[in-house]
Structure 1
Amino acid sequence: MFNPRDKETRKQAMGIAAELSQEESAVVVFLCMDFANGYLVTGEVKELFEILSKQNLLSLDLLTELLYRIRRRDILRKMKVDVFSLESDLRSGKGYISSYRQLLVDISEGLSQEDLKSVLFLLGCQIPKGRLETVKTFLDLVVELEKAGKIDESNLAAVEDCLTNIRRIDLKRKILKYKQMGECVNSVRRSNTYQNVIPISVPQQECGFGPEHVGQNWEMSSVQPAFTNQLLGQHVHSNWPTLTIVSSEAAGAAALSSPVHESVQATAPGTSCTVRQCEPATYNMQSNPTGLCLIIDCIGNDANLLKETFEALHFRVLLHLYVELSEMEKILKETSERDDLAALDCFVCCIISRGTWDYVLAVDGNIPGLSSEKIQSYFKGQNCLPLLGKPRLFFVQNYLEPTADSELEIAGVPSNGDPIEVDGRVWGAPQEADILWGYCRVSQNLLHQVPQQPSSFMSTLSKCLRKHQRRWDLISILTEVNRKTMSMNQPMPLILQHTLRKKLVFP
């Protein structure tokens, strides 16, 4: 039966739509995508309101909440909305918009133009190239990542890693709190008789509307009152309340647009004191695949063994056999420019070749060949931005021409220690950070003594990686590799140099 009130609500919604800017309209559409995405065609807010009206989902409560979310206090005042009652309702769980949507809007608002460029660069490779041309904002990118199945309300790892890479720990903190509160809410739900529960949080910024609220933040409750699903059978996403930043940080809220480099301040649930929360002590190794492994075997003995090993460690493997020096340089450069590196958590490069004391010569034996510094340079700093902050591991077996008085000694890799700049922002660690160089030099005579046999170094490395996977960190594994190779009849010590800042454990 026709309800005159519905007509009045629709008329009011169209009036609101006319007052919104293009950016505000885009945010409103994004906030409502959980229950209108299947009907939206153009993404316009007027179309959204028409669709919600036809589906009997448009209500005054939804309109006022959307205005509150986009901070249009002026329109709320015109509508004579009791804002304090609205805030109270939202804090008690009477709301429509999921915390997942609000979280992403908060992150979008916190990104500077320089940050946005970096985010689009790092995550853009995860969506089809044809769609990337339409992506102009962070929320546009989120929609495409959702379509591609890369993120959802329970999986924000890609966004979290990206924020870490651009040093926006303050924005990553929002995701950590969202996840923490999600665990709390899920725990309560398991024992809650009410199933249609939608706890919701008010925006973390500009929560108050009167002078007495200026500079204050709400402490959100995880209490979940019963609230009947008003979306007529539409799926309602879990709505996880978000803890705000503690009052000791409120005075510095304006500084949150600047990156936090080393640590963050978090509020422990249910307390008002601050808890020091350091960055993880281990590298993130959760992407699927875990990373990319480049194998360049100019001898031909180790390729298959290494391929099996790193595939068992869930790496995507690129294999090249018997390459010339110029081709090796081309392979290294093209690999460092791959689009999929941003989505991976680790990079490994294995090179087996003849060489001199300081150079790899490939199959053609041209001198000088490639130095360790040259090989690493393709994957450092500005040359490979998607791998910033991620471990890059190099394992090299070099077969040397025998010399009478050669001694194995560590040749240091020079480092300028200079930080690099990404889109105008200084990266907190120098470009040498997060690199491991494992180098084994042996006599070329071994190729004649044990033809077609894998090198002792690569063989031992493979066995130890697979044996101690998920149990030992990489440095402990390499210590074991060195112990085993040094105990052989012909000692082959592993020269290990690294600038890893965390422990690395293969999944």
Structure 2
Amino acid sequence: MNQELQAKLLKIADALDNKAVKELVFCCGDNIRATKRQKIHNARSLFEHLQEKVLVSEEDLSFLKEILWKIDKIDILKKHLSVTQEELAELQKSPRHISPYRSMLFDISQDLDSDDVKKVTFHMYHEKAIMKQEDVSMLDVITEMEKDAFLSESNLEKLKKTLTAIGREDVLLKIGSYENPGRQAKYLDSTQEKIPIQENPNNQPEELKADSGRGKNLEHYNLDKEPHGWCVILNNEDFENGVKRIGTDKDAGAIRRVFEHRRYTVEECKNLKGEKMLDIMKEYSEKDHANNDSFICFILSHGCQETVLGVDGKKVLIKDLTSCFNGQNCKSLIGKPKVFFIQACRGDELDGGVPYEGDGSTSTYECDGGTLPITADFLTAYASTEGYKCLRGLEGSVYIQKLCKILEDPDHFQDDLRDLLTKLQDDIANDQPFKVKEKGVTQPGKQMPSYTSELRKKLILPRPENI
């Protein structure tokens, strides 16, 4: 028995929770007999069985790597099995051990939320007590369907009818691609980047012609690269007119902490003139993002309506900064989410509340505060609504600090970013009025963030490391 291999497997086992073990067992498929599956309750017993079957050995870890890749345990692959980016790309390109059938079922299970699973169990097994338990997953339901002969490689009709009955016709695309390879876009699983499917309804199966684009059924962007991409911070603190944006370094530090933990390459550029801000955006847009799955940018500066300021006071249109990354100017980010957070005032009107400052341009007080459209896959979030100031103090800005707090809350790790921004808007809107000092006069001030979105899918940011 190779002690080095056993040590690796023990470390991997300790990093896997019960949910991950269940997913691994499912991906093993017929490599584990049904009677044996019931006896596997943790990762150690699974690995012992795979070693007995010679599916995992010192000489060949390809099976283990593939099933870990399938359930998106990229961090484990890199940390404990030293898998390189090239190996990950090969796993994505040419999976060998998991059958297309099992891969398709696993992807479907990942697309259904807990509410969907409850509907499926009600539709399929409303009389079966075991299927009414709170912790039943879609993988449990699929396994039960296979055991009852309701589901097999050549019999997918009940599954298709059930998905249609619960209003998840969108998921049928995966079954259609499995049954008719080549009829639509190549079948892609949940860990691969999706290729846009032609929108000509004549190319779609008959049952998919009806519009089923309800928000909860949206596909999500796949953020499975390492690193995920750049998180760029444009941080203007010291302006040439002597104005200093106090607290902005607290914001930059919070952003760095959040996104480094989420495996982004965080790079900060400080005290930029207007022209340099635009040059840096062009510089990043010309980089090769092929091995990245997203791009994040924070702009921390003074601003006014539709513009932000360089430290020289020059106004730069926000749309000029963001358009550097559209489909014409940055082809390696086509189909991938591009998110911009603007911490700058959008006017000089105080929404009328700890002294806070504003990021307005004229304020003298310290207030703060197959093809795709070329503008697809953008989200631009603003600290305030058009025409109004935003708030910032010694400990940073209201908007950035509260945003980072939400992003670090484990209760929200699986939430769509747009839902998080809506929560952020609600939190800030319901805050007690801040006390804002302007021209020596203290008055109450409020703040209302906003955002615009051209995202086509759910955007669930990657979980932080070790959580």
Q: Which has the larger radius of gyration?
A: 1
Q: Answer whether TM exceeds 0.5 for this pair.
A: no
- Shorter-chain TM-score category? 0.3 to 0.5
Under a length normalisation based on structure 1, what TM-score does the superposition of the two structures give?
Answer: 0.36
